[in-house]
Amino acid sequence: MPFDQRHVNEIVERVCAGQEALDACRRRDLGAVIRVLGKYGITQGVIASLTGIPQGRLSEYKTGKRVPTATSTFEAFADGLGMPAQARRALGLAPAAGPGTARTDGNGFPTDTFDLQLLAEAIGRRGQKVKRRDMLALAASIGAGAAIAQSEVWERIAYALTRPTGMDEAMVRAIETRSAGFHQLEELVPAAALYKGLAAHLRETGNLLNGMTTDRNNRLRTRLIVAIGESSVLAGWLTSDMGDTATARHFYETAEQAATEAKDPGIAACAFAYRSYIPTTRGAHGRARALLTAALEALPGSTSPGTTAWLSARHAEESAALGDRAQAVASWGKAEDAFAIADPDEDRVWTRFMDQNRFDSYHISTLASISRLDEAQELATAVLARLDQPDRKKAVIILEGIASAHLTRGSANEASKIGRQALAVLRETEFVMWLPKFEALAHGLRRWQRQEPVRAFLEDYSATKRQLAASPH
C-alpha cells in the first residue's frame, strides 16, 4: 500500500525529537530507533524505501543481530528519513544540507534519493554515454531546483493517482528516461548509493501503476510495466553487488512477472542473465550456463542484437569455464555476429554497458579458460590501456580473469601480482559482487604462501575483505 510521504515526515519529525529516540541516537543504536518508529506506524518497509537500506538488514539492526558502525549507514538512515537536526547531532552527523544544495558524499555522488532520481533523468535525456566528470557537473547543478521539482512531481503523481486519465505521454516518458539514466549511472556510482534512488523510483512508478485501470490494451500502462521490469533487473544487480542475493532474487522475479504482463520476453532474458552471475561468483558454472541458455531461448531472434551479443558472450565464457571448448567457440561466434550489428545506445537500456571494452573482456575470459592465455594477455593489455574511469569495474573483471588463468598454469607469483592490481581497483569501486572470485584465487594460491608475492596477495585480500565488510554493504 502506498504511504503518505508528508504523514511519514511529520511522524519522524515528532518522534525523533522525543527523548526515547534521542537517547537511542546518542547510543548510535539504529535498532532502537527502528523499534521506536515502529510503535508509531513507520514500518521497516517504509524505512527501506526511503533510505535504500535493505529491509532484511534493517530487521537485523532491530533484533541486534547486526550492529551498524559505518558513518555512511547512519547518514543514509538520517537523510532518507529526513531526521531533525537534534537527532542528526545525537547520531554525530553534520546538519542536513540547506536549500539549494545537493547533498553529496565524499566522491561527489548525490545522497538524497530525489536528487539521484533527477540525476538519472538528466542523464537518461542525454541518450549517450556519460563520463564521470560530466555526471559530477550534472550532480552539482541539481540542488538548486530540487525542492521545487519534488513538489511538482508529487503534485503530478497525486493527480495521476486520483484521476487515471491524468496519466499522460510526458509522465510515462519521464519514467522511461529515468530508468535508462539509472542503467547508465550503474557504471559511475557505487551500488549502495545508487540503490537508494532506484528504490524510490520503483516505488513512485509502482504508485503510478496502481492508480491506473487494469486495461491490458492501455499502451501507457504497458510502458510503465516495462519500465518497472527494466528497473527491477538493475535493482537485482545492485542488491546482488551489495551482497544481498535474497533481495536480488526477489527483484529478478518481479522483472520476470513484468515481462509476462507486458509480453516483453527481453526483460525475462535480462533477468536470467543477471541471475547467472550469482552462481558464477560461487564457481557453479553449470548452473550459470543453464540460466544463460534459458535467457537465449526466451529472447526473440534479432529483436535485440546487443542483448544477444551479451548473452552469447556470457554463454561462451561459462562454457569455457566448464571445459566445453567446442560450445565456447560456437557461442563466441554467435556473440561476434550479433555484436557486429549491435548499437547498444539504440538497443535496450541494459545493453548500454556493452561497449567494445566489455565485449572484449568476455573474450579474454573465454580465451584464458580454453588455454589460449597468450591471446588473452595480448587482448587484455590492449583493453586495459584504453579503459577510462567509468570502466573500472571492467578492469576488476579482466585482471581477475588473467590472474586466475596464470594460476591455472601454475604461475603463482604472476597470478598474485595481477591479483593485487585487481584488488586495488575492487576496493576503489566497491565491486563486492566479484569478491568471491578472489576467494577462489586465494584458496588456489595458499599452497605457495611462503613465496613473497603470494603472501602479499593473501594479506591484501584479507585487508580488502575487512574493508568491504565495514562498508554499508
Q: How much is the pLDDT for 368?
A: 85
Query: Would 328 be classed as within a structural domain?
Result: no
Are 120 and 77 part of one and the same domain? no
Cα angle for residues 430, 362, 432 (degrees, 5° grid): 15
Q: How much is the pLDDT for 223?
A: 93
Query: Would 34 be classed as within a structural domain?
Result: yes
Query: Residues 454-467: what's their mean pLDDT?
Result: 91
Cα angle for residues 163, 168, 171 (degrees, 5° grid): 105
Query: Would 404 be classed as within a structural domain?
Result: no
Phi, psi of 103 (to 5 degrees): -75, 130
Looking at per-residue pLDDT, the higher value among 456 and 368 belongs to: 456
Residue-wise DSSP of 452-472: HHHHHHHHHHHHHHHHHHTS-
36-40, 188-192, 411-415: segment of lowest average pLDDT = 188-192
Check whether 167 has a pLDDT greater than 80: no
Query: Would 341 be classed as within a structural domain?
Result: no
pLDDT band at 256 (very low <50, low <70, confident <90, very high): very high
**Percent of the chain topping pLDDT 70:** 83
Query: Would 59 be classed as within a structural domain?
Result: yes
Most confident residue range from 43-57, 307-321, 389-403: 307-321
Domain boundary (220, 237, 263) is at: 263
Are 115 and 198 part of one and the same domain? yes
CATH code at position 30: 1.10.260
Q: How much is the pLDDT for 242?
A: 83
Are 126 and 250 part of one and the same domain? yes
Query: Would 450 be classed as within a structural domain?
Result: no
Check whether 449 has a pLDDT greater than 70: yes
Check whether 170 has a pLDDT greater than 60: yes
The alpha carbons of the chain give a radius of gyration, in whole angstroms, of 23
Are 120 and 219 part of one and the same domain? yes
Are 112 and 256 part of one and the same domain? yes
Are 173 and 246 part of one and the same domain? yes
Looking at per-residue pLDDT, the higher value among 366 and 138 belongs to: 366
Span 80-97, pLDDT tens digits: 888 888 888 888 877 665
Are 191 and 259 part of one and the same domain? yes
Looking at per-residue pLDDT, the higher value among 54 and 1 belongs to: 54
Span 59-81, pLDDT tens digits: 999 999 888 887 778 888 988 88
Looking at per-residue pLDDT, the higher value among 140 and 234 belongs to: 234
CA–CA distance, 272 with 290 (Å, rounded to integer):
9
Are 138 and 193 part of one and the same domain? yes
Domain boundary (41, 63, 90) is at: 90
Q: How much is the pLDDT for 385?
A: 77
Query: Would 250 be classed as within a structural domain?
Result: yes
Are 258 and 173 part of one and the same domain? yes
pLDDT band at 283 (very low <50, low <70, confident <90, very high): confident
Query: Residues 310-323: what's their mean pLDDT?
Result: 95
Average pLDDT score over the chain: 83
Q: How much is the pLDDT for 161?
A: 47
Query: Cell numbers at residue 312, please?
Result: 552469447
Give the three-state DSSP class for 355: coil
Q: Which of 262, 317, 268 is nearest to 295 (CA)?
A: 268
pLDDT band at 293 (very low <50, low <70, confident <90, very high): very high
Domain that holds residue 119: 103-263
Residue-wise DSSP of 5-65: HHHHHHHHHHHTTSHHHHHHHHTT-HHHHHHHHHHTT--HHHHHHHH---HHHHHHHHHTS
Q: Which of 172, 138, 142, 179 is nearest to 157 (CA)?
A: 172
Domain count, the chain: 2
Domain boundary (65, 90, 115) is at: 90
Span 12-38, pLDDT tens digits: 988 998 889 999 998 889 999 999 999
Are 86 and 120 part of one and the same domain? no
Query: Do 299 and 269 touch, CB atoms closer than 8 A?
Result: yes
Are 109 and 250 part of one and the same domain? yes
Span 337-359, pLDDT tens digits: 999 999 887 889 999 888 888 89
Check whether 183 has a pLDDT greater than 60: yes
Query: Would 36 be classed as within a structural domain?
Result: yes
Are 64 and 172 part of one and the same domain? no
**Percent of the chain topping pLDDT 90:** 35
Span 91-134, pLDDT tens digits: 887 766 544 445 555 555 666 666 777 778 778 877 666 666 66
